[in-house]
Amino acid sequence: MEAAPPVFAFGVIADIQYADADDGYDFGGCRRRYYRQSLKLLRDAVDAWAAERPPLAFVLQLGDSIDGLNARRGTAERALEQVLAELGRLPVPVHHTWGNHDFYNFSRARLVHTGLNSRPTGAMSSSPVADCQAYHFSPSPRFRIIVLDAYDLSILGREPDSPRYQESLQLLQENNPNDNLNSPTGLEEPQFVEFNGGFSQVQLDWFNEVLKFSDENQEKVVVMGHLPIHPDASDRVCLAWNYKDALSVIHSHQCVVCFLAGHLHDGGYCLDSHGVHHLTLEGVIETPPESNAFGTIYVYEDKMILKGRGRISDRVMHF
């Protein structure tokens, strides 16, 4: 580790997908999913983070906190309680982004009233859309964290008679003629599937304004969202619908140094043409109980050092 202490440090974890259920497999039938054990892996992560000295500044939970299985079993509230109880042992704030599995269990209207709503109450730092989990905060002078809502455009979690649902369904069907909207078969842009979503223009405009402020104030910005937005840090199916729009907002500014995502359980990484690091974290749910998948990121003036545990590799990301 470095001689000089980091400016601050934070924890990262993705795709816990907890359910009190026996092991199963992903939809392809080949990846084992350790539903019950994922809570133990979260507990190990929380223990490690709580022991960090100096203490962490916060933890980022990258979405899909509980598995969609809970919805069918009527165990969603209980499973979420258990996940939040583990995270609640941390003496630092936890910032949540929302993923498809969160919406399989809860409507957007319900999520706002759960512990997964980490959006601050002051309206200044939040997206202008009331139920959009997009906000920013500054953990230290000259640094900013932005939480994005990659399911702002989505047919998950919204009432079918709402305008945003209808708009999202239209966009999805225009790009996906399959009967099964979860199937990417034959698509030119295979990310247009029901289990993904996108960013509304309102959110992108808000995002652009925040980045403008950060540019003007010479801040370094880390952005997080459930869905990856760079094809080299993801497979083509797991990207946000309009990932190109989010990328072009980022690339029209100097301040963004890193984009953190989950969703793709194998993880991914690239340094893009504009010097932005895209880190997609390996998912807890497909991690064997004897291993783990979480990390601690130590932030310096000129770099971030990721110390990964289990399936997540160590990495140095220079600005």
Binding mask 230-269 toward Zn ion (x if CB under 5 A, else -) reads: ---------------------------------x------
In sequence order, what DSSP letters do the residues of 177-204 get, joined into one string? --SSTT--TT-SSTT-STT--B--HHHH
Nearer to Zn ion, 61 or 100 (CB): 100
Binding residues with Zn ion: total (CB under 5 A): 4
Q: Where are the alpha helices (DSSP H) in the chain?
A: 37-50, 69-73, 76-87, 100-105, 108-111, 163-175, 201-216, 243-251
Residues within window 110-129 making contact with Zn ion, judged by CB under 5 A: none
Nearer to Zn ion, 228 or 310 (CB): 228
Nearer to Zn ion, 17 or 214 (CB): 17
- Out of 12, 34, 45, 99, which residue is the one contacting Zn ion (CB under 5 A)? 99
Window contacting Zn ion (CB under 5 A); options: 91-99, 143-151, 252-260, 268-276: 91-99
- CA-nearest of 4, 9, 12, 10 to 269 is 12
Nearer to Zn ion, 99 or 231 (CB): 99
The DSSP call for residue 301 is S
Q: Is 198 in the site for Zn ion (CB under 5 A)?
A: no
The DSSP call for residue 133 is -
Q: How far is the CB of 99 from Zn ion (least distance, A)?
A: 4
Residues within window 48-67 making contact with Zn ion, judged by CB under 5 A: 64
Nearer to Zn ion, 247 or 285 (CB): 285
Q: Which residues contact 316 (CB under 8 A, 6 or more apart)?
A: 303, 304, 305, 306
Q: How far is the CB of 114 from Zn ion (least distance, A)?
A: 17
Q: Extract the tokens encoding 254.
A: 């100097």
Q: Which residues contact 279 (CB under 8 A, 6 or more apart)?
A: 233, 258, 259, 260, 261, 268, 269, 306, 315, 317
CB atoms within 10 A of CB 111: 20
Nearer to Zn ion, 253 or 263 (CB): 263
Residues within window 276-295 making contact with Zn ion, judged by CB under 5 A: none
Residues that bind Zn ion (CB under 5 A): 64, 99-100, 263
